[in-house]
Structure 1
Amino acid sequence: MPIDFERKGAIALVTINRPDAMNALDVEHDQALAEAWKEFETDPTLLVAILTGAGGRAFCSGGDLKTYMPWRRDIALRGKESTISFGGMTLAGEITKPVIAAVHGHCIAGGLELAMACDIRICTPDSRFGLAEVRWGVLPGGGGTQRLPRLVPMGYALEMILTGETIDAERAERIGLVNRIVGADVLLDTAFAIAERVAANGPLAVKAAKQAIHDGLDRSLQDGLALEGTLQKRLLQTADAEEGLRAFAERRRPVYATSALAKAPKT
């Protein structure tokens, strides 16, 4: 399969499975990835996803320069829009549920853009990160120029994008690009532990919190607080909030109805 999709209870494990090409995405893999995200997003029983790459050498090395990028160039030459979305993952607001990137090895170009579109990033000590697109006459067009400066200080973002050079895992953690570094033997175990902790929380609250953070980034503090208040009001009107508060009073773990996920709070 171009993209492996496994269900582990409430968690989806999405694996880019093209190790012979450093998990670069060609057109087929890009389309398969889109189907995987569609399945994850529309299934109310799936609460969190983990994105990783097969083979141990690379998380993902981006769009295949031999096939994918020439295809994109042909579209652009015909005067048509050629937005690089990598299966829709790097478009804003397409994935409303939490996604964790489990990075092992090279995470460059579109691979890093995929990882940055995730909500939490963990990696192995031998991982390397970079946006090398300018070396090949294009820019990081899958959200790289927009997400990197939002995740790390502007100076680091400019250095990485304008030089096209890679950084190691230690520096990636130091500048805030990744959340933590773990051994390769416990990478997926760590990712699943985080995913399970997220999945144990109120599903509507998790989705609303993600929405408040991402949508609020481009607003003034006043408008962001208004968004937060609107989402909180709607959450307080749900059965999830009723169950969570009752469980706290009764000193037990809440039991949330996953069917309620189909109607998450929206602005």
Structure 2
Amino acid sequence: MSIDIDRIDHVAVITINRPEARNALDPVHNAALGTAVAEFEADPNLYVAVLTGAGNVAFSAGADLKTLLPEYQSKVRAGESPMWNFGGFTTLERAKPIIAAINGHALAGGCEMALACDIRLASPNATIGLAETKWAIIPGAGGTVRLPQAVPLGIAMEMILTGNPIDAAEALRIGLVNRILPSETLLSDALALALAIASRGPLAVKAARASILESRSLTERAAMENEFKHFLEVVRTDDAAEGFAAFGEKRNPVYQGK
């Protein structure tokens, strides 16, 4: 049992390795996941991450109902207001993209972790849902915020209020996942996508991601101005000069993140 990190070129593959509990997070794994994502974010040699779960049954069933949630509830009922964000992952201010390889059930907090990722790929047996109302609570790690941003409001309302999950085909139809991929190639396909993104200018990837996410809370005019700010910043970089030179010389660029 662990949170595993494998480094492949400029990509980190982060695996929630607790398959006997459907990769649910107990207090130890919850903290370890936050540490793993923070280490990825802080490592200048890692540009993109893939998040997945061990085995082929579950991405993650979210918080462990036998340990993590009862421990949290006892603190809340004692008057505390501790953060609820899966080791900081779902609220951590990130600059780098993460791809979710959803290899089975992504329920409750597992769905919230997938929603916190930038791109979602799913296996045919994936089920995705926010089940919290079944336990008399609500999603508290971004579910009620990110799901309505990812799918039509009425669909998000139905999923959240009923707590019922949807299958991979429905997730693809409503745009919640980018693609459905064979279970046996899901992780390798996610890694290939991550490596493709990592081969682009890393500063440009960060800037493009930031511009996309920041635009959601801005007016169109402000968003365009913000995009132009990011554009000027990356045009000034050595990486941009290298990209232009490589194009002219018909060779692959060698980016340094400068």
TM over 0.5: yes
Mapped partners of 2:20, 2:72: distance in 1: 22
For residues 183 and 3 of structure 2, what CA distance do their matches in structure 1 show? 21
Letter in 1 for 2:191: F
Q: Does the 8 Å contact 1:89/1:114 carry over to 2?
A: yes
Structure 1 Cα separation of the partners of residues 27 and 66 of structure 2: 11
1:73 paired to 2:73: yes
User: Partner amino acid for 2:124?
Assistant: P
Q: Deviations over 1:186-215 (max 9, x none)?
A: 111110110111011000000011111111
Pairing of 1:124-143 with structure 2 (within 5 A): 124-143=123-142
TM-superposition CA deviations, 1:220-262 (whole Å, max 9, x none): 111111111111111111111111112122222111014x3xx
1:155 is displaced (CA, Å) by 0.6
Q: Find the counterpart in structure 2 of residue 14 from structure 1.
A: 14
Distance 2:87 2:15 in 1: 13
Deviation readout 1:58-96 (Å, 9 max, x if unpaired)? 0000011111111221222233323321122211x5221
Taking only aligned residues, the RMSD between alpha carbons, in angstroms, comes to: 1.1
In the alignment, which residue of structure 2 is the partner of 1:218? 217
Contact 1:10–1:48 (CA under 8 A) maintained in structure 2: yes
Mapping of residues 155-170 of structure 1, within 5 Å: 155-170=154-169
> What's the CA shift string for 1:139-181, capped at 9, x where partnerless?
0111000000000000110000000001100000000000000
Aligned to 1:172: 171
> How many residue pairs end up in the alignment?
258
Code of the residue aligned with 2:57 in structure 1: it is: R
Residue ranges of structure 1 left out of the alignment (5+ in a row):
261-267
> 1:145 — aligned with what?
144
Equivalent in the alignment of 2:46 = 46
In structure 1, how many angstroms separate the alpha carbons of the residues matched to 2:8 and 2:55? 20
Residues of 1 paired with 2:69 and 2:239: CA distance? Answer: 45
| SS in structure 2 of the partner of residue 156 of structure 1 | helix
Whether the 8 Å contact between 1:53 and 1:103 is mirrored in structure 2 is yes
Q: How does 1:219-238 map to 2 (within 5 A)?
A: 219-238=218-237
Alignment of 1:20-59 (within 5 A): 20-59=20-59
Report SS of the residue matched to 1:90: coil
Residue number in structure 2 paired with 1:239:
238
What is the aligned partner in structure 1 of residue 63 from structure 2? 63
1:164-203 correspondence to structure 2 within 5 Å: 164-203=163-202
Distance 1:104 1:192 in 2: 14
Specify the alignment match of 1:121 in structure 2.
Answer: 120
Q: Give me the whole-angstrom Cα distance separating, in 1, the residues matched to 2:81 and 2:244.
A: 48
Does the residue aligned with 1:184 lie in a helix, a strand or coil?
Answer: coil
TM-score, normalised on structure 1?
A: 0.94
TM-score by length of 2: 0.97
Which stretch has the larger CA shift, 38-47 or 81-90?
A: 81-90
Q: Is the 8 A contact 1:133 1:139 kept in 2?
A: yes
AA at the equivalent of 1:25:
L
Whether contact under 8 Å (1:152, 1:175) holds in the other structure is yes
**Contact map agreement 1:88 1:94 (CA 8 A) in 2:** no
The 3-state SS of whatever aligns with 1:185 is coil
Instruction: Indicate the SS of the match to 1:114.
Output: helix
Q: Give the Å deviation of 1:14.
A: 0.3
CA distance in 2 between counterparts of 1:246 and 1:234 reads: 18
Partner Cα separation in structure 2 for residue 156 and residue 118 of structure 1: 20
Q: Which amino acid aligns with 2:160?
A: I
Q: CA deviation digits over 1:82-138, x for unaligned, max 9? A: 3321122211x5221110000111110000100011111111111101100011011
Q: Give how far 1:22 is off.
A: 0.7
Q: Is the 8 A contact 1:61 1:108 kept in 2?
A: yes
Instruction: Give 3-state SS (helix, strand or coil) of 1:59's partner.
Output: strand
Whole-angstrom CA distance in 1 between matches of 2:58 and 2:126: 8
CA distance in structure 2 between the partners assigned to 1:169 and 1:162 by the alignment: 20
- C-alpha separation between the residues in 2 aligned to 1:86 and 1:224? 30
